[in-house]
Amino acid sequence: MSGHSSRASTIWKTAYGELQLQLPRETFDTWLRNARLIAHEDGTYIIGVSNIYAREWLEHRLKQIITRTLSRIAQRSVEVRFVLWSEHRQQNDDLHEAGPLLADLKPAGEETPRFERLSPGETGLNPRYTFDAYAVGDCNRLAHAAALAVVETPGMAFNPLYVHAPVGLGKTHLLHAIGNACHERGTRVLFVSSERFTNDLVAAIRARNTDLFREKYRSAGVLLVDDIQFMAGKDSTQEEFYHTFNALYEANAQIVVAASHPPEALKKLDNRLRSRFRGGLMVELQPPDFLTRLEILQIKARQRGFGDRIPYDVLETIAEETQGSVRDLEGALNRVIATFLLTHEPPSLSHVRETLEELRPRQDEPPALALEDIILTVAEFYGVSPDALCGRDRSREVSIARQVAMYLAREEADIPLQQIGEALGGRNHSTVLYSCERIADLMGTDSQVRRQVGAILQMLQPEGAPRRRSSGR
């Protein structure tokens, strides 16, 4: 590898790490986790992605922050271009001559699920998410106390522990904190997302090594499963998880799960699992109050090395003006830190208020629905993965969810048919139009479909916001 290419690769890896800290976890995992630097040409970083929707979303929503981060690290102005893996392959038949920068080209969307055995000591935990870094207030005090009790007597105090809350309120952090504390005490811990559990199961069945799968999951002393709502509707996955749950429970192993809603609100969740979850302790995380928001900001500032460089009154102002999720707080803090890095001066209160005003949605009109929000919300509601929704999966449950997503994208967000089709599996505009018309017809004749669409709209629409336009025709 040439020195020039090696430097570009190092700059990209550094920027990739910083972006992981700057961006909300869902945003990074969905759109950047599988992005790769595949070439560097005259100051232009060419980033490979797996589908056209990821390319368009990065181009229009994240290009500025990616370019700014790369330019700062490279200490010069750079350009960023996003390309599809498939297109790049077609344009470069001799990729093997393109050098080591292309060697790690692995479009995740094209990989066959692979069962991953645990390496010695592997847990799946993020060491940054600990109890020391978790701000406690009235919004989460019960959940925090329950988590500590689980660490003290795993499998005995509250089993299972079921944590639920909307996105961005700290569920994942709490699960990792439990896992890290138990791991330090010598307990065998395994943290997985429900998608990882599903992928492992599928791969184990294909490879005919389900015994290894069960050994991996049923030998844990503490099993932590995040985003359990995505398991709903997947019959085989739920069946295996039910038996895994029973095996661990009978062995006095601790089970902790996190979800977006309480069990009774998860459609298509197996009744046996719903019963098991209700048999433990269910705790809900609420949006943080002012003092908790302030503590969160202090913790995040310290983690980024700015604990004593951002004035206390600035943090107070951010805490007062930002009353959403933890992710909203992080976003506001990141903007302030970015200003600090650019100007090399402590941010003034007036500038902070201007920055927060820019982040605040307009009150005189509802925020425009974004296609990515529709896709993620529909996927969550129907218990399917966003990848399946955007892929070629033609199973009944995915097809229905995809048609509803197409309908909402057209009727509620006025997104062009071609753009909708490209995002949802590369369908042509006539397919999208047919799907929209079919859901519109069902809205008039099927009360269940009408209720489902209404529920998704409520999830998409902030409370109190005016309707954008009426559903149906």
What does the pLDDT look like over 340-388, one tens digit per residue?
Answer: 676 676 666 777 777 676 666 554 445 567 888 899 889 888 888 888 8
Q: Residue 461's pLDDT is what? A: 67
The pLDDT-based confidence of 97 (bands split at 50, 70, 90) is very low
CATH number of 371-460: 1.10.1750.10
Euclidean distance between CA atoms 299 and 307, whole angstroms: 8
Are 105 and 48 contacting, i.e. CB atoms less than 8 angstroms apart? yes
Above 70 in pLDDT, residue 3? no
Above 90 in pLDDT, residue 468? no
Nearest partner of 85 among 35, 53, 48, judged by Cα: 48
Above 60 in pLDDT, residue 432? yes
Above 80 in pLDDT, residue 85? no
Torsion of CA 258, 263, 269, 272, to 10 degrees: 100
Q: What are phi and psi of 161, to 5 degrees?
A: -100, 125
Above 50 in pLDDT, residue 406? yes
pTM above 0.75, yes or no: no
Residues in Cβ contact with 327 at an 8 Å cutoff, skipping those fewer than 6 apart: 24, 25, 167, 168
Residue 415 CB: number of other CB atoms within 10 A? 20
Architecture of domain 290-359: Orthogonal Bundle (1.10)
* Long-range contacts (CB closer than 8 Å, 24 or more residues apart) made by 185-189: 185/151, 187/154, 187/221, 187/222, 188/219, 188/220, 188/221, 188/222, 189/123, 189/125, 189/220, 189/221, 189/222, 189/224
Q: Residue 98's pLDDT is what? A: 31
CATH number of 3-108: 3.30.300.180
Helix (H) or strand (E) holding 121: none
Question: Would you say how long the chain is, in residues?
Answer: 473
Task: Give the burial class of 162: count Cβ atoms within 10 A of its Cβ; 0-12 exposed, 13-18 middle, 19 or more buried.
Answer: buried
Above 80 in pLDDT, residue 262? yes
DSSP 323: -
Helix (H) or strand (E) holding 47: strand 44-49
Mean pLDDT for the stretch of residues 311-336:
78
Helix (H) or strand (E) holding 82: strand 79-84
What does the pLDDT look like over 98-150, one tens digit per residue?
Answer: 333 333 333 333 334 444 455 445 678 888 889 988 888 888 899 999 999 99
Residue ranges covered by each domain of the chain: 3-108, 141-284, 290-359, 371-460
Q: Residue 101's pLDDT is what? A: 35
Q: Residue 358's pLDDT is what? A: 62
Q: Which alpha helices (H) appear in 92-138, and where do they start and end?
A: none
The pLDDT-based confidence of 174 (bands split at 50, 70, 90) is very high
Q: Residue 147's pLDDT is what? A: 93
79-84 sheet: strands from edge to edge: 36-41, 44-49, 79-84
DSSP 39: E
Q: Is the peptide bond before 160 cis (omega within 30 degrees of 0)?
A: yes
What does the pLDDT look like over 264-296, one tens digit per residue?
Answer: 888 788 899 999 998 899 998 888 888 888 888
Q: Which residue has better confidence, 186 or 353?
A: 186
Above 60 in pLDDT, residue 463? no
The pLDDT-based confidence of 255 (bands split at 50, 70, 90) is very high
Three-state secondary-structure class, residue 48: strand
Token pair of 417 as six digits: 């048919």
Euclidean distance between CA atoms 408 and 378, whole angstroms: 9
Euclidean distance between CA atoms 140 and 285, whole angstroms: 5
Euclidean distance between CA atoms 160 and 150, whole angstroms: 9
Strand partners, 258: 163
| Average pLDDT over the chain, rounded to an integer | 79
Euclidean distance between CA atoms 427 and 403, whole angstroms: 11
Mean pLDDT for the stretch of residues 10-15:
88
Mean pLDDT for the stretch of residues 152-177:
88
CATH H-level, domain 141-284: superfamily: P-loop containing nucleotide triphosphate hydrolases (3.40.50.300)
Q: Which residue has better confidence, 188 or 470?
A: 188
The pLDDT-based confidence of 249 (bands split at 50, 70, 90) is very high
Q: Residue 414's pLDDT is what? A: 80
Angle, helices 371-382/447-460, rounded to nearest 10 degrees? 130
DSSP string, 127-167: TT--STT----TTTHHHHHHHHHHHHSTTTSSSSEEEE-ST
